[in-house]
Chain A
Amino acid sequence: MLCEKCKKRTATVFYNENLNGKLRSFSLCGECAAKLQKRGDIQDITSMMDSFADPFSDLQEALFHGFFGIRAPKSQSAGKKCPACGTSYQEIAERARVGCPVCYKTFQDELSGLIQSVHGVGTHTGKIPSRHQAKQERKRLLQEKKKALVQAVDGENYERAAILRDEIRQLENEQEKEAN
């Protein structure tokens, strides 16, 4: 997203203001935000600037893009932080270190480029931790039974379909219980 003031540089400061019920919001580059603040047009921006605000943000963006294929922080991921550990994508891109297991879900799209550039497009095929073995087996069974249910219904084998439906329900209940 471009800065709405200069319309040249990337917007890195997202400013929202509620003044006596009157809402104002700006998307600005670091330079324009600093100018506006100096003139007193907007409040202190330092507390509202996300960690991407940097006069070299365009350059950084280009670098991240080239480095390991990490996708540059776009405006939608710019303010995003991991709900579990508070890590921003900027931090991950700079240090090639992820903050916690949840970051992989939070920044799934952004990290996919890096993961593919290192490992290719494959998914995990190795060992499974003991606590996940039952879960993964249940998931496989569920897929298998759902497929069989469609076939049973197509073949008008309603007795088998009823059994399969009950089995699926039971597996789904177990799944739900575990998720809670």
Chain B
Amino acid sequence: MSWYHLQGKCADTVISTRVRLARNIVGYPFVSKLDSAGAGEIIEKVGSTLEPSGFRKINFSDISPIMATSFVERHYVSPEFSLQESPHALLLQEQNGVAVMVCEEDHLRVQCILAGFAPEEAYQNASEIEKRLDEEFDFAYEEALGYLTQCPTNLGTGLRVSVMMFLPALSRAGSMNSLAAQLSKIGLAVRGLFGENSASAGCMYQISNQVTLGVSESETLCMMNEAISQISEKEKLARAAIVGEAQERLQDHILRSEGILRYALFLTSSELIRLLSDVRLGIALGYVKDISYEQLNTLLVEAMPATLTLSSESTPKTESARDKLRAVKVQSVLHPKG
């Protein structure tokens, strides 16, 4: 079972929580100065440390671009990682949501992604694997600067907690810019669906901590807990305001989206993201009854271009064929047979 087959806590406002720890190994330069032989050695060593504990090693130089993109769609790797030319690999333990990117920006990016709001649990899972790696490797560390990372923005704990929030009402009220400004004052950043440099789609925003030096792991988790609860509260108030203003119109809009989602024969991925957002809001407001958050999360990943193509027996030749395949996928998830 993968994270996107579950709903997790606070599914009305939070889609997923991702935690990552950046680590580098003493004796090797950072990735931008690392040669292929060094990268290969690190990949080999990390693989032999984690493979016995049920991790699957995926060498990105051995897989097709479409498979690499599918890992991005499943949020196990960054878009930059999937496009990298130098040797890089992923160690994946899907049932716990743990994905270790080897030789991305840092030698090791130990990540855990879980459905819903779960920063502590995600941190525990990532931390457990980091501990195993710490026994094996001498991590680059300095007393005052903490864990040494290729980019100075990750010094200290190397911990980044990113929470994917669903904020349609705040978005519609035009409050996202002022929210982003407020969050930046307390050291939090707002980004789009696929992290750095990505635009927000379907009212989904990634909120993450920026400061990693001078704050402990528990302080970061605590701050994220507080910030996310406050944003969730604001979103719920904004939803109540929209419902108060135009309940029937909103309900009409959502139910139309549900109709299209259920019965359309062709769906583009951007239309799908929009429909999934409408329906998610519909579930939260009690307008949509027979669709679950789990199903929406599943579609948010499995109906994306690369993952969808991989799941079909024959590769769709045209955009239109893929849109048709997408609609079939939606129906199979919403109306499972048997």
Chain B positions 133 through 156: 1 when the CB is less than 8 Å from some CB of chain A, otherwise 0: 011001111111111111111011
Tell me if B139 and A129 are in contact (CB < 8 A).
yes
A35 CB to nearest chain B CB (Å)? 35
Whether the pair B151, A96 counts as a contact (CB closer than 8 A) is yes
Q: Restricting to A83-132, which residues have a CB under 8 Å from any CB of B? A: 84-85, 87, 95-101, 104-105, 111, 114-115, 118-132
Q: A37 at interface (Cβ–Cβ under 8 A)?
A: no
A84 contacts which chain B residues (CB < 8 A)?
Answer: 29
B210 at the interface (CB under 8 A from A): yes
Task: Tell me the nearest residue of chain A to B25, going by C-beta.
Answer: A101
**Cβ-defined partner of A104 (8 Å) among B148, B210, B211, B219:** B148
Q: Which residues from A are CB-within-8-Å of B55?
A: none
Query: Given the complex, which residues of A lie within 8 Å of B138, measured CB to CB?
Result: 129, 131
Main secondary structure of the interface of A (DSSP, over half): loop
Cα A136 to Cα B146 in complex, Å, equals: 12
Query: Given A98-B30, A99-B30, A123-B213, is A118 in contact with B153 using a C-beta cutoff of 8 Å?
Result: yes
Bound complex: CA of A104 vs CA of B210, how far in Å?
20
CB pair A97–B150 under 8 Å, yes or no, is yes
Q: How far is the CB of B173 from chain A (nearest CB, A)?
A: 31
Tell me if B135 and A104 are in contact (CB < 8 A): no
We find that the number of chain B residues with CB closer than 8 angstroms to chain A is 38
Structural contact, B134 and A130, CB atoms closer than 8 A: yes
Given contacts A99-B30, A115-B155, contact A104 B216 (CB under 8 A): no
B240 at the interface (CB under 8 A from A): no
> Which residues of A are found within 8 Å of B29, using beta-carbon distances?
84-85, 99-100
* A99 CB contacts on chain B under 8 angstroms: 29-30, 32-33
Classify chain A: how many residues form its interface, as a range: 20 to 34
CA distance A85 to B35 in the complex (A): 12
Q: Known contacts A100-B29, A126-B146, A128-B141: does B215 contact A118 (CB below 8 Å)? A: no
Inter-chain CA distance A126–B216, complex, in Å, is 4
Known: A115-B213, A126-B215. Is A100-B153 also a contact (CB below 8 A)? no
Name the A residues within 8 Å of B28 (CB-CB).
100
Pair A115/B30 contact, Cβ less than 8 Å: no
Q: Are A125 and B214 also in contact (CB < 8 A) when A96-B151, A97-B151, A132-B141 are?
A: yes
| Residues of chain B within 8 A of A136, CB atoms compared | 143
Q: List, in ascending order, chain A residues with CB within 8 A of B267's CB.
A: none
Give chain B residues whose Cβ lies under 8 Å from the Cβ of A96: 151-153
Chain B residues with CB below 8 A from A126, complex form: 146, 156-157, 159, 215-217
B307 within 8 A of A: no
B144-A124 in contact (CB<8A): yes
| 9 shortest interchain CB distances as A-B pairs | A122-B214, A124-B146, A119-B213, A126-B157, A101-B140, A100-B29, A123-B144, A126-B216, A129-B139
Apart from A125-B156, A125-B216, list 9 A-B contacts with CB within 8 A: A96-B153, A98-B148, A101-B142, A105-B142, A115-B155, A115-B213, A120-B211, A123-B213, A124-B145
Chain A interface residues toward B at CB < 8 A: 84-85, 87, 95-101, 104-105, 111, 114-115, 118-132, 136, 139
